[in-house]
Structure 1
Amino acid sequence: MLPKYDPNDNETGVKLLEDLTTNAYQIQQQVLDEILTGNVQTEYLNGYLNGQSNKELFKRKVPVVRYEDIKSYIERICNGESSEIISAQPITELLTSSGTSGGQPKMMPSTAEDLDRKDFFYNLLVPVINKYVDGLDQGKGMYLMFIKPEISTPSGLMARPVLTSFYKSSNFRNRPFNRYNIYTSPDETILCSDNKQSMFSQLLCGLLQRDDVLRVGAIFASAFLRAIKFLEENWRELCSNIRTGHVSDWITDPSCRNAVSFILSKPNSELADLIEGECSAKSWEGIIKKLWPKTKYIEVIVTGSMAQYIPTLEFYSGGAPLVSTMYASSECFFGINFNPLCEPSDVSYTLIPNMAYFEFLPVEKNLGEVTQDVLCNEVSDHQYISQEDEKEIFDTVDLVDVKLGHYYELVVTTFTGLYRYRVGDILKVTGFYNNAPQFRFVLRRNVVLSIDTDKTNEEDLLNAVTQAKLLIERLGFLLTEYTSYADTSSVPGHYVLFWELKKKGDDDLPELDPNLMEQCCSTLEESLDAVYRRCRRKDKSIGPLEIRVVKHGTFDALMDFCVSRGSSVNQYKTPRCIKSEEAIKILESKVVGRFSSQKTPSWEPFRMKI
């Protein structure tokens, strides 16, 4: 299912994309046939199909599942049982998802062939971007890439994030030359486990090669902005390195230091003066084009929760377009944006039909239950519900049978051991490319807060608040209402919770003990999941959580605002996450105290609960 082609052969790449999208139905049938034929004797599938690889039987007998339904199979493999529980091919590693299960990252099975599939997918990006941007083969990309912590499970299999897996693979290290994978960052700087050393080294190499840079970016908008913030804080030291031709002594990783020293081969005071002149300006507006003047675009994911960073990116961009090229997850690489220079709000992804077998659960707007959320927030995180969640049974829809303008939840059957798995993403059909549908990412089911790769749902937030409020209840305080929002006005962004408190038997709020409230902030962070805590402690991609205490009656004012927008008083319930700027201003105007966590939460790379 993976045709071989030279990624430098643009004509062949274009033809391949045309074939894949034109023959989407046939390819999807071939994909399902290959998956079933190869895996029908696995314990999981055999339990439903009794050794038959019939597609109709598969649809009728194999259930649509969430992670909790298959978690025990994954845990058995972690503990050393055979991959054949779920996959005929040996599972070579487990990919940790940013979604959580019981406070821990989900683990998705992966095989050696899956790395080849990712290679194929990345190579398909080349003819798409070449259609819109000329001359990329004349320079390099300053693309900032980082690895994250990984652990060994009891079976010896490594569990790690999907990008860490790819960057550490021989597929990445031995990648063939093509215009899309020539970077200013040496592999040694990417693979440096110390994120600060890695960031400094990659930015230094990017500045040294500024005249070769034709595109800049990172996977997520949050990561790219974190790099800009790091540059703001460290440009003087970077200039000093360039001026002296000497890498800072605190860059101690031997491979990283040697790779950077090779590029920083001699002093360059002229370049240091130029960078210093740009970075010492009063405003950093347009700094990207000033430091890397040949930049044709900024490549970052700006869909979903990353859309909140668009205004900040545009401030720094100097007019360079923001490009979201692909849609992927730990479960599978899904689709490509065939119109990469479109506005961020218009980004749609064409699902590539040989990546997996795709099904879709029809989704309806739940107008009765969430009207107030929609009216308060413009877009509600609870605006859509699957028909299955309404306790009715509906058949899934195949890839080529989705309808324009309709909403669906994505379900995948992969080559790596996931069968009819609900990814949790809600998508809207926006069009078709040949016979392959195009989808706009709408939201991640149940996620209310996200800054980086963290995804906090309403239940996780409630559990954390429940733990924190115990501290104040012992002193006779009551938490009468709360809501939250992701504050990305600064880098790194952070969670903000608005709390309305009262003393038992009294509406007047006495003076709050700052130490107690800071403890509440820390308790909240300790109670959030492992991905959040990693982002806070290890990656430093999320700032300290903040509680803003508001006056008595503030949430009544919030309700009045929502009602004024058309919400029903009878159906109103306080949104647990606020996105409306007007609603946030109402809450902000009532703040009487601000408290932040004064310590980073504990974090372990992985805790097996088996």
Structure 2
Amino acid sequence: MALLPEFDPADSRAGRGLIERLTADAAEVQQDVLDEILARNSRTEYLRRFLLLGDSTPAAADLREAFKRCVPVSGYEDVKPYVDRVASGEPSSLLCSEPITCLSRSSGTSGGQQKLLPSTAEELDRKVFFYAVQSLVRNMSLHTDDSGGGSGKGMYLMFAFHGDRTLSGLPIHSALTAYYHSRQFQDRHIGGFDKCTSPLEAILCPDGNQSIYCQLLCGLLHRRIVDRVGASFASGLVRGIKYLEDHWEEMCSNIRSGQLSDWITHAPLRDAVIARYLQGSDPALADEIASECARKPWDGILRRLWPGARYIRTIVTGSMSQYIPILEVYGGGLPLFSPMYGSTECASGINLRPLDPPSHVSYALLPNIAYFEFLEVKRENDHEKVQGNDNLGVVKVVDLVDVKIGRCYELIVTTFAGLYRYRVGDLFTVSGFYNATPLFHFLGRRDVVLSIDYEKVCEEDLLSAIAEAEKFHIRPLGYMLCGSTAYADISTLPGHYILFWDLANACDSNATFDIDGAAMEKCCLAVEECFDEMYRKIRHRGSIGPLEIRVLGHGAFNALMDFFVSRGTSASQYKTPTAIRSKEAMMVLEERVVGRFFSQATPSCRSAEFERR
């Protein structure tokens, strides 16, 4: 079987056969993938130092065995020096045989820096195959035809954020932005197997406000033929609904008059909307939409605005699971279809059972996309933390087909684009098998404690940021920080981080004192300034609100311990969690809040390494 076989996503019979072959022959396909990667890339500078190849080319089996024996499991710090050199203009052959055409910017970061990972033109072909399989599964399970022959369209919100370039001119984009700019996506979007209401010019518009306005406006103009709604991630869809709630009257005015608002000034977008979408006034449509939007509350608004919609397609696993309740309210009973698992390293996981409830979603990693290995990790039940043993010399790494049901693993990938035995940092439990291919329930990122949108804040970075703020803004006032925990609050939009702090007088912990509001506001900003570039960029876009510190009365953290102990935590092993996810636990602290303080400024947004200022 070719590694990327061609097929028609509308041909369910042929497509089902393709899925059956891929999943049944997973071990053989994985071996073929690794053999092909090594045949192409074994002479790269990165692999050469481990494989120690002579002038002759070893047999595929010998090369495979040498790879597993000699190439170590790696992290970003192992890859970064090579990426730095490519970014500075050195040849792609440092990492892979194909030209590196773009550096993909990772959203899951730690250590205060964003990760830049190599990507090639061929990777875009893999994404097209991946999305075609995704559409095929949807067609088979939901009995739809998204191939271009049907009349239905998707009202999907998609955004291509501004990219940068290295000093040598190599583009830097998020993985999705690079894909949206590609010919492969544009062919698919305009006439391919996943037609949508959003104009390509809106998706690529550099002004996020104009982009989301026009995408929603065009979705409303096509409300009678929309059969599915969604966004890449649940956070983006919820944000879009909130935006619609604030701007529906202006959109209805545009539809009623047939005139686009003057503040839409991006020329390609304005021309596209006027020429292809807003063709004359439509008072009847405007009245229909206004009638639904004026009804409060907005329960079921997606079903009411797009009555032909049959499901909501958006990722609701991992950190996005916090948005499930609000989407169920907005959806009014529409099924939530979480279609895929993907990472910056590679898009690889397909939900083969899209009608399963979100809490039961599992993904099958397509065995022809990359070479997959797994590092087993242990869970600490008391505080729901997952820790991996970093002593990789004594930890067994297992292949895709050798994982065990019920166990927890960290994903390791080897790609065609130059990542070798690379720890992605994503954690899974094995929920079962489809033929010989395991099904994985996605748990989230290793060590991530806070996340609202694309940003990821790990425990180390959060604690470091709090320590920095305490040192420079709390201690000079004679306070001390006696306890702290964090919460990602999405009860209002945009969501924001909350730090619950127990403060005391440094000289007499029982003495009362007045809280210095200006100092606490500086603390809020100081914490945000310590977070990574992705957080600060999202704050600048307004997708995350100002960080808040809530000061607690004495005894609050004792009450929090009592709460966890009452739910089975061992009192002798209890440690105050760095962050809490339970709304009930948050309310225990909320009842004891004595002061609330917010950042009064937006944190600085530094340029990433290699980017032109």
TM-score (norm 2): 0.95
Other structure's SS at 2:581 match: coil
Quote how far apart the aligned CAs of 1:270 are: 0.9
Deviations 1:494-517 (A, max 9, x none): 101001101122323422222221
* Pairing 1:110-149 to 2, within 5 Å after superposition: 110-136=119-145, 137-149=150-162
Q: How many angstroms apart in 2 are the aligned matches of 1:11 and 1:315?
A: 36
Quote how far apart the aligned CAs of 1:50 are: 1.4
* Structure 1, 104-113 or 552-561: larger mean CA deviation: 552-561
* Pairing 1:577-588 to 2, within 5 Å after superposition: 577-588=579-590
Cα distance change of structure 1 residues 504 and 176 upon mapping to structure 2, 3 Å threshold: closer
Equivalent position to 1:492, from 480, 491, 494? 494
Whether contact under 8 Å (2:413, 2:421) holds in the other structure is: yes
Quote how far apart the aligned CAs of 1:609 are: 9.9
Equivalent position to 1:283, from 297, 314, 317? 297
Matched, 1:185 2:198: yes
* Pairing 1:330-345 to 2, within 5 Å after superposition: 330-345=344-359
Amino acid of the residue matched to residue 188 of structure 1? E
Deviations 1:9-39 (A, max 9, x none): 3322222111111111110000000001110
Equivalent position to 1:76, from 71, 78, 85? 85
Q: How many angstroms apart in 1 are the aligned matches of 2:278 and 2:315?
A: 31
Cα distance change of structure 1 residues 204 and 176 upon mapping to structure 2, 3 Å threshold: closer
Q: Which residue of 2 aligns with 1:267?
A: 281
Q: Which residue of 2 aligns with 1:92?
A: 101
* Pairing 1:514-593 to 2, within 5 Å after superposition: 514-538=517-541, 540-593=542-595
Q: How many angstroms apart in 1 are the aligned matches of 2:342 and 2:444?
A: 14
Quote how far apart the aligned CAs of 1:177 are: 6.7
Q: How many angstroms apart in 1 are the aligned matches of 2:511 and 2:267?
A: 60
* Pairing 1:207-606 to 2, within 5 Å after superposition: 207-262=220-275, 263-366=277-380, 371=382, 373=383, 380=384, 382=385, 384-386=386-388, 388-389=389-390, 393-469=394-470, 470-506=472-508, 507-538=510-541, 540-606=542-608
Q: How many angstroms apart in 2 are the aligned matches of 1:179 and 1:85?
A: 36
Other structure's SS at 1:400 match: helix
* Pairing 1:42-53 to 2, within 5 Å after superposition: 42-51=44-53, 52=58
Q: How many angstroms apart in 2 are the aligned matches of 1:560 and 1:247?
A: 57
Quote how far apart the aligned CAs of 1:329 are: 0.8
Q: How many angstroms apart in 1 are the aligned matches of 2:162 and 2:511?
A: 47
* Structure 1, 413-422 or 426-435: larger mean CA deviation: 426-435
Other structure's SS at 1:104 match: coil
* Pairing 1:128-207 to 2, within 5 Å after superposition: 128-136=137-145, 137-175=150-188, 180-207=193-220
Whether contact under 8 Å (2:465, 2:530) holds in the other structure is: yes
Quote how far apart the aligned CAs of 1:392 are: 6.4
Deviations 1:484-539 (A, max 9, x none): 0100111211101001101122323422222221111111111111111111102x
Q: How many angstroms apart in 1 are the aligned matches of 2:75 and 2:393?
A: 17
Q: How many angstroms apart in 2 are the aligned matches of 1:385 and 1:586?
A: 27
Whether contact under 8 Å (1:407, 1:429) holds in the other structure is: yes
Whether contact under 8 Å (2:189, 2:195) holds in the other structure is: no
* Structure 1, 127-136 or 259-268: larger mean CA deviation: 127-136
Structure 1: 5+ residue stretches without partners:
374-379
Other structure's SS at 1:210 match: coil
Other structure's SS at 2:66 match: helix
Cα distance change of structure 1 residues 256 and 509 upon mapping to structure 2, 3 Å threshold: farther
Equivalent position to 2:17, from 15, 18, 22? 15
Q: How many angstroms apart in 1 are the aligned matches of 2:576 and 2:144?
A: 52
Whether contact under 8 Å (1:7, 1:178) holds in the other structure is: no
Other structure's SS at 1:429 match: strand
Q: How many angstroms apart in 1 are the aligned matches of 2:248 and 2:184?
A: 33
Whether contact under 8 Å (2:233, 2:315) holds in the other structure is: yes
Deviations 1:50-109 (A, max 9, x none): 125611111110001111222111111111111111111111101011122431211110
Q: How many angstroms apart in 2 are the aligned matches of 1:11 and 1:193?
A: 41
Amino acid of the residue matched to residue 115 of structure 1? L
Structure 2: 5+ residue stretches without partners:
none
Q: How many angstroms apart in 2 are the aligned matches of 1:427 and 1:545?
A: 30
Amino acid of the residue matched to residue 342 of structure 2? A
Whether contact under 8 Å (2:478, 2:507) holds in the other structure is: no
Q: How many angstroms apart in 2 are the aligned matches of 1:521 and 1:161?
A: 28
Quote how far apart the aligned CAs of 1:567 are: 3.2
Amino acid of the residue matched to residue 105 of structure 1? Q
Whether contact under 8 Å (1:241, 1:247) holds in the other structure is: yes
Whether contact under 8 Å (1:236, 1:276) holds in the other structure is: yes
Quote how far apart the aligned CAs of 1:589 are: 0.6
Q: How many angstroms apart in 1 are the aligned matches of 2:397 and 2:418?
A: 19
Q: How many angstroms apart in 1 are the aligned matches of 2:74 and 2:393?
A: 15
Amino acid of the residue matched to residue 510 of structure 1? F
Quote how far apart the aligned CAs of 1:183 are: 0.6
RMSD (Å), alpha carbons:
1.7
Amino acid of the residue matched to residue 460 of structure 1? D
Q: How many angstroms apart in 1 are the aligned matches of 2:399 and 2:572?
A: 39
Q: How many angstroms apart in 2 are the aligned matches of 1:113 and 1:68?
A: 25
Q: How many residues align?
A: 596
Cα distance change of structure 1 residues 125 and 556 upon mapping to structure 2, 3 Å threshold: same
Whether contact under 8 Å (1:508, 1:552) holds in the other structure is: no
Q: How many angstroms apart in 1 are the aligned matches of 2:132 and 2:144?
A: 17
Quote how far apart the aligned CAs of 1:391 are: 7.0
Deviations 1:559-600 (A, max 9, x none): 233333343344322100011233211111100011111222
Other structure's SS at 1:439 match: strand
Query: Identity percentage over the alignment?
Result: 53
Amino acid of the residue matched to residue 234 of structure 1? H
Q: How many angstroms apart in 2 are the aligned matches of 1:13 and 1:483?
A: 49
Other structure's SS at 2:106 match: strand
Q: How many angstroms apart in 2 are the aligned matches of 1:339 and 1:565?
A: 33
Q: How many angstroms apart in 2 are the aligned matches of 1:219 and 1:609?
A: 26
Equivalent position to 1:103, from 103, 109, 112? 112
Whether contact under 8 Å (2:505, 2:511) holds in the other structure is: yes
Q: Which residue of 2 aligns with 1:64?
A: 73
Quote how far apart the aligned CAs of 1:113 are: 0.4
Q: How many angstroms apart in 2 are the aligned matches of 1:284 and 1:441?
A: 30
Other structure's SS at 1:592 match: strand
Other structure's SS at 2:114 match: strand
Deviations 1:529-552 (A, max 9, x none): 1111111102x2111111100012
Deviations 1:183-222 (A, max 9, x none): 1011001100100000000000000000010000000000
Quote how far apart the aligned CAs of 1:468 are: 1.5
Whether contact under 8 Å (2:465, 2:531) holds in the other structure is: yes
Q: Which residue of 2 aligns with 1:376?
A: none
Other structure's SS at 2:442 match: strand
Quote how far apart the aligned CAs of 1:5 are: 2.3
